[in-house]
Amino acid sequence: MTTLCLLTSVLICGVALGWDGLSSSSVVDLFAQGKVRMTFTPQDRKFEEAAEAYRRLWAAEGSKILEAMERVSGLTFRETHVEAVIFEGPSRSGFGDVPMYLRASYPADVKKATLVHEKGHRLIAQLRKRPADLDEHRVLFLFLYDTWESLWGKDFALEQVKVESGRRGIYDYETAWKWALSLSKEERASRFAAIVKDAR
């Protein structure tokens, strides 16, 4: 059964059962990109518009994002559903059943970059063995820039590095990004591939 047929069946059943409150965003949460379903829930009603923006992003580009992340990293997503809470605070990936948190007020491009960044943390959670000289973000940055570039181009990737490098107080993003970009694309890929191989 195609996704369209399945979606139509659900909507028909919903009408028959009296699901007056079934919104298009609920359907998106159920069916977006099949492989990894995401649910975006506003922490407060004032964040509903931002939650809807994340839903639209995932519905439009979720498949492309997953494909690029898996292709560039060489890893496969193991989880099939991620809960994301939309709020106003520092974004964080969560882990397992702990939800992801995504900042509501980011501009559209930063929402895209942040969603990939936080999903990247969840993707590399499967790498239990890590080099002692690399922290979590340095491992992530070995493929994050190249994923951004693959998805939305070099200008986008460079701008998001600039945005992240300007963040202060939680982590030294600027130093980590300078380190990652001091390596060539091939060097980043090789280093990450060695980490993946060693972790297996």
pLDDT tens digits for range 124-161: 999 999 999 999 999 999 999 999 999 999 999 999 99
Long-range Cβ pairs for the range 88-96 (8 Å, 24+):
88/47, 90/170, 91/117, 91/118, 92/118, 93/118, 93/119, 93/120, 93/121, 93/122, 94/118, 94/122, 95/122, 95/125
- 134 CB contacts (<8 Å, ≥6 apart)? 195
Domain boundaries, the chain: 17-199
pTM (predicted TM-score): 0.83
Looking at this protein, which amino acid is placed at residue 176?
A
Written as six digits, the tokens of 148 are 């951004």
Q: For the segment 30-50, what is each residue's pLDDT rounded down to a tens digit?
A: 344 458 999 999 999 999 999
User: Are 94 and 78 within 8 A, CB to CB?
Assistant: no
Q: Do residues 86 and 54 lie in contact, with contact meaning Cβ atoms separated by under 8 Å? A: yes
Q: Which pLDDT tens digit goes with each residue over 75-96?
A: 999 999 999 999 999 999 999 8
